[in-house]
Structure 1
Amino acid sequence: MESLGVVESWTEWDRLREVWVGSLENKSLDAPQEPAVARKMACYQKYNWPVRDRLQDADCLAEAKKQLDNYIEVLKQEGIIVQRPKVFDTQVEIKTPMWSVERMSGFTCPRDLFFVAGKQVIEAPMSWRCRYFEHLAWRDLLMSYYKSDPRMRWSAAPKPMLVDDSFGGEGEERSIRNSEIFFDAADSRRFGRDVFFQSAHTANDLGREWVRRELAAQGVRVQDFDFQSQQHFSHIDARLTPVDEGLCFYSSMDPPTDAMLQLFRENEWNILDAGFREDCRSTSDQCAPGIHLNVLTIAPKVCIVEKNEKKLTKLLSDEGCDVLPIEFSACYPWGGALNCYTLDIHRDGPAQKSYFPTLDMQAERQAAKSEKP
């Protein structure tokens, strides 16, 4: 399908026009052995999810491919342009002067690699050795946008060295150190003029500060977002999910701090507890308590949701949302859920609209204070 050739997306909920969808081709049944993978596995071993089907990994991967193909067809039927990566061999050793790992992870989740802030695409400096070169599968598409869209900005954070000292000791749940710039792109949530960003298992304070300085150049504000617990290995898109202006959800197993909830409520947001996940497809599912919140919103209050998340579907419907249910949980063990497997390249909607008046007032006060002699 022909591309719009234009990069622009300011929120998670405006009407979606063009999207990237990851691939399960060349996905290995065996996880690479490296610090980032070990960190994730250690975090999820404490959960005892109710497993719906106990399938062998090969069977689960085959079904996941079918579910992913169906997802793509649903998106196309909604009139959304779908772009795919240019995959290459993953079953070869990755090597730098500092380290090596036996294979790549795959090409499932462009949401982790890049995020679009308005007209700017940012490449993330992830803490995964096995994903060090994954961005190259999307390079041709990025170049096509860069050539066709003179307004597009394309930035890449400094590539980390990923030496052993970048990581904490064995058993540490939050084990990337603040010695290099680290973040996954999915550690961000976009609300027009404001981007909420977490510093957690896959992002550190230096990473968040790099994004803050980078986006300040175009007038976008990066706000710290905090949760009551840092125990859950999760990107923010499985912890906080806006589906329209003024309507947002979080997981009861992983709630925001009281200060975060207050910020939303004082700005007239209805922020609701969406419970916790119901569905688990495989014994190898390594997903977060809020993975049910990892929906893809394709228009205001129009959400694609995992079919077996019945409680979430009812909650969304009760709040006036249209739900498109599809089966997708066989894909979970291979990278994540519906939002994880995508990257929205173009959404309709106003540029840099503010959805948080109190943050505007705070910024004005700070500006006035700095102008005083």
Structure 2
Amino acid sequence: MTSSVWSVNDWDPLEEIILGTALGLGVPPVDVSVRHFFEPPEGAELEKVDTAVLQRVVDETEEDFAELTHILTAANVRVRRPDPLPYGQRFAALGWESAAMHALMPRDCLLVVEDKIIEAPMAMRARFFEVAPFRKLLGEYFDAGAHWLSAPKPLLPDETYVYRPGESVVAELEPLFDAANMLRCGADIFYNVSNSGNRRGAHWLRRVLGERFRLHEISLCSDHLGTTLVALRPGLLLANSERLSPDSIPEPLRSWKTIWVDRPEDDGFAFEWPRASVWVGMNVLSIGPDQVVVPSNQMALIRQLEAAGMTVVPARLRHGRTFGGGFHCCSLDVRRRGGDVVSYL
């Protein structure tokens, strides 16, 4: 059976995508796992988000996603959406409890490699059931020939969340990773060891994917790669100038041309503290190797991309720092038009 799922990089021509939803967006309790991932300010557990503010963020994000859907549909991309998440859904596991955060970011909880779609073993307790709103779509893709896999469901005891000065890690008790820890470049996948992914998770993924893929363990930033290093197409990178230098680009990618992004424009945030830095402004989504969706307020980045020969499609995204994700985070390319897995290095 030919699968309806196929994607091995972030630049082949896009044909089908899952776009998250802000419906049901909530603010989970600040527990040890939230502190480990977000590193929030002192007193963050006392945050009170006004219901009117929360509703405005949801409404405006859904407006922005409607605009993005129009852009993608006009580019002949099929856009799929998850089921809405019931607001404030609580759950408990062995020794802890939390509340669901959102269904905004399929990029974090699902990894697509070839015709496989893999549920990630996420390290934040509030995200334990984050894949649930996408399950209907996963069943559809499975029925259409995709391989639907899930990493071992983690237990996430307190001992998971370790701190070492100058280093962001999670303990090696069980395989852990967010799918957004990956930079997919065909036969080569770069895996960021960080506070949202450990080496045991890399070992699990390496064994599942097999010898056709090379998994490179790197450590470039404290969590996901999309605000630090982006592969726009073979031979062209987008890099965070505050976090990286030419010497810290992963060695196999150093021969690629790099667009160095200076500090992006700050959108601000609607809650008491932001869930993302200003660098969420470089979290772009490629429609194809020469066409990319970029937040419309990031004019300096737009000029840099155009100078590199890219066609830029500006789109509004008002609350990326509020909920912690950009266009790449909030979407998952399910199918890109491409052939066999090849090495671009």
Counting matched residue pairs gives: 333
CA contact (8 A) 1:5 1:148 kept: yes
Q: Which residue of 2 aligns with 1:39?
A: 36
1:221 pairs with 2:222: no
Query: What is the 5 A alignment of 1:202-351?
Result: 202-216=196-210, 219-227=212-220, 230=221, 233-255=222-244, 258=247, 260=249, 262-266=251-255, 269-282=256-269, 284-351=273-340
Q: Which residue of 2 aligns with 1:21?
A: 19
Q: Which amino acid aligns with 1:277?
A: P
TM-score by length of 1: 0.83
Q: Which residue of 1 aligns with 2:76?
A: 79
In structure 2, relative to structure 1, the CA distance for the partners of 1:104 and 1:351 (3 Å cut) is same
CA contact (8 A) 1:12 1:191 kept: yes
Distance 1:87 1:58 in 2: 14
The structure that is strand-richer by fraction is 2
1:159 pairs with 2:153: yes
Per-residue displacement from partner, 1:91-135 (whole Å, max 9, x unpaired)? 23211233212x211100000001111111111100111111111
Q: Which has the larger radius of gyration?
A: 1
- The CA RMSD over aligned residues, in Å, is 2.4
CA contact (8 A) 1:61 1:330 kept: no
TM-score by length of 2: 0.89
Distance 1:279 1:66 in 2: 20
Identity %: 26
- Structure 2 spans left out of the alignment, 5+ residues: 43-51
In structure 2, relative to structure 1, the CA distance for the partners of 1:208 and 1:170 (3 Å cut) is closer
Secondary structure class of the residue paired with 1:197: strand
Secondary structure class of the residue paired with 1:26: coil
Secondary structure class of the residue paired with 2:149: strand
1:107 pairs with 2:94: no
Secondary structure class of the residue paired with 1:94: strand
Distance 2:96 2:36 in 1: 17
1:148 pairs with 2:144: yes
Secondary structure class of the residue paired with 2:237: strand
Secondary structure class of the residue paired with 1:134: coil
Secondary structure class of the residue paired with 1:329: coil
- Structure 1 spans left out of the alignment, 5+ residues: 46-54, 357-373
